């Protein structure tokens, strides 16, 4: 049998420690920023936000980075580092099957890092700038990440990835990349590899069955978002290329036809099992025609869903994933506030960008 | 652990059966009752204790609450002791 992070079903359920992990996760969820703090942050300048963060959870990171960076960059790097620290801590105190499941979910950041490196190489950004954008919360160790950063061409990156779980998919997509000279096939290959390993070989059990449904919802929402974006952009791209397998809403070929017909697509979502949760955002989408609002609504629904699952099965992976999503959301929110303030957006415009439960 | 207890209990049953009296004397029966209650208390404390230590690692001010919640299942075995007092003695 392989190591637990390779195979989530390897650790027996008896050896995992959900009580301990859930207690710690709930405590950490308790210190996330709430409505009041967000409304305070929205009124602050980037420098004030950094100072405010220094007095909160982010103290350690702000102090470590404060001498080298300033302004919005400081906030952004501190957020990324804090995220990595908390998620690595999660892996530090989870054991057994729970560890395996968390590790699988956190490979999301491996996928994120690979995509960042691809984009950096593609646009000839220097590796230092790319390095600050990496989130070291995934499974890749520093040595592998450094190798990725040293790669100077897309082909080098593909070579470095050989042997990781992304290797095969990326290698296959590399030919497409050479033909089209766009990163889309490579990025899709990374996403697909991630979701495939996420859903593959899940252990049995009632809580894990619900967790699987949640992951399917996550994939479905992603597909819906991509479909709507493609429909809106009107670009002549094969929608099937963006499709991620594993969802329950529609198949790749169905997505291709639905992208051509937005009304049908919305009806399809309305009649699906997400119809009830999404009915209000869908109404708004039809009347106000604002895709951004709908995407925010999708994220809010997913957050709500994960939180609800965490309450149904408190001693499982569910509350941990709910925490991961909420923490990620907090980081995105603060980043949106800081960037928005820097760009001089109005307070109401920034508030629209936030997803707060 | 529970397996050991079960073999011991069965040997008690066998011995007293061989002596020709009641299958299990009141003292032995109450001992088994207390033992099972202790097992149950220990099992429930396992989960609560783990959660309490987890909460404590995040926020030390929760020590009092954690301690109280952890020892609450102790009432199980204290109540079981009453059985010993009533029957065993």
What domains are there in chain A, each with its CATH number?
18-93+320-357 (1.10.132.50)
Q: What is the mean pLDDT of residues B71-88?
A: 88
Domain count, chain B: 1
Assess if residue B65 is contained within a domain: yes
Containing structural domain, residue B45? 26-88
Chain A: nearest CA to B57, how far in angstroms? 7
pLDDT in tens, chain A (357 residues): 334 444 444 445 557 889 999 999 999 999 999 888 998 999 988 889 999 999 998 999 999 988 888 888 899 899 999 999 999 999 988 998 899 999 999 999 999 999 999 999 988 888 888 888 888 888 888 899 988 888 888 888 898 898 888 988 888 888 888 888 888 888 888 988 999 888 888 888 888 888 998 999 999 998 888 888 888 877 667 777 778 888 888 888 888 888 878 888 888 888 888 888 888 888 888 887 778 888 888 899 999 999 998 899 888 899 999 999 999 999 999 999 999 998 988 888 888 888 887
Q: What is the mean pLDDT of residues B57-68?
A: 92
Q: Which residues touch A19 (CB under 8 Å, ≥6 apart)?
A: A315, B47, B48, B50, B51, B54
Assess if residue B17 is contained within a domain: no
Contacts of B47 in chain A (CB under 8 A): 19, 315
pLDDT of residue A178: 85
B6-18: pLDDT as tens digits: 556 556 555 554 5
Contacts of A19 in chain B (CB under 8 A): 47-48, 50-51, 54
Tokens standing for A253? 């070929």
Whether the CB-CB separation of B14 and B60 falls below 8 Å is answered with: no
Chain B: nearest CA to A21, how far in angstroms? 7
A28:B58 CB<8 A: yes
Chain A interface, Cβ < 8 Å to B: 17, 19-24, 26-28, 93, 315
Assess if residue B20 is contained within a domain: no
Assess if residue B64 is contained within a domain: yes
What was the ipTM of the complex prediction?
A: 0.74
Contacts of A20 in chain B (CB under 8 A): 50-51, 53-54
A22:B54 CB<8 A: yes
Q: Say how many CB pairs under 8 Å bridge A and B.
A: 32
| d(C-alpha A325, C-alpha A19), whole Å | 20
| d(C-alpha A245, C-alpha A18), whole Å | 30
Chain A: nearest CA to B56, how far in angstroms? 8
| d(C-alpha A69, C-alpha A169), whole Å | 37
């Amino acid at each position: 049998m392989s190591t637990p992070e390779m195979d989530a079903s390897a650790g027996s359920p008896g050896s995992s420690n959900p009580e301990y992990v859930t207690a710690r996760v709930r405590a950490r969820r308790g210190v996330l920023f709430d409505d009041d703090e967000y409304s305070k942050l929205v009124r602050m300048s980037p420098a004030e936000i950094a100072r405010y963060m220094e007095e909160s959870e982010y103290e350690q990171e702000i102090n470590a980075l404060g001498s080298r960076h300033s302004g919005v960059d400081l906030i952004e790097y501190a957020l990324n580092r804090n995220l990595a620290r908390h998620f690595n801590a999660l892996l530090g105190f989870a054991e057994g099957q729970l560890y395996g499941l968390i590790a699988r979910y956190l490979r999301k950041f491996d996928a994120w890092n690979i995509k960042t490196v691809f984009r950096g190489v593609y646009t000839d950004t220097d590796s230092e700038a790319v390095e600050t954008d990496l989130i070291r919360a995934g499974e890749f160790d520093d040595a592998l990440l450094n190798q990725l950063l040293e790669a100077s061409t897309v082909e080098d990156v593909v070579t470095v990835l050989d042997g990781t779980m992304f290797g095969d998919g990326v290698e296959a997509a590399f030919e497409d990349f050479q033909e089209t000279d766009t990163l889309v096939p490579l990025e899709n290959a990374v996403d697909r590899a991630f979701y495939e390993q996420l859903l593959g070989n899940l252990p049995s059990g009632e809580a894990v069955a619900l967790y699987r449904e949640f992951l399917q919802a996550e994939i479905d929402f992603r597909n819906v978002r991509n479909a709507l974006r493609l429909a809106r952009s009107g670009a002549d791209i094969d929608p099937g290329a963006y499709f991620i397998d594993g969802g329950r809403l529609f198949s790749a070929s169905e997505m291709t036809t639905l992208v051509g017909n937005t009304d049908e697509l919305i009806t399809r979502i309305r009649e699906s099992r997400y119809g009830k949760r999404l009915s209000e955002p869908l109404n708004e989408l039809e009347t106000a025609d604002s895709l951004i609002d709908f995407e925010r609504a999708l994220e809010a629904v997913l957050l709500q869903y994960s939180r609800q699952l965490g309450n149904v099965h408190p001693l499982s992976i569910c509350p941990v994933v709910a925490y991961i999503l909420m923490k990620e959301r907090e980081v995105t929110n603060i980043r949106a506030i800081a960037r928005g303030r820097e760009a001089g957006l109005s307070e109401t415009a920034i508030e629209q960008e936030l997803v707060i439960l | 652990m529970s397996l050991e207890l079960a073999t011991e209990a069965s040997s008690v049953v066998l011995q007293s059966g061989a002596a020709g009296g009641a299958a299990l004397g009141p003292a032995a029966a109450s001992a088994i009752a207390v033992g099972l209650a202790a097992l149950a208390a220990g099992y429930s404390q396992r989960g609560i204790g783990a959660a309490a230590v987890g909460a404590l690692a995040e926020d030390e001010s929760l020590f009092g609450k954690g301690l109280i919640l952890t020892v609450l299942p102790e009432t199980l075995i204290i109540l079981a002791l009453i059985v010993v007092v009533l029957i065993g003695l």
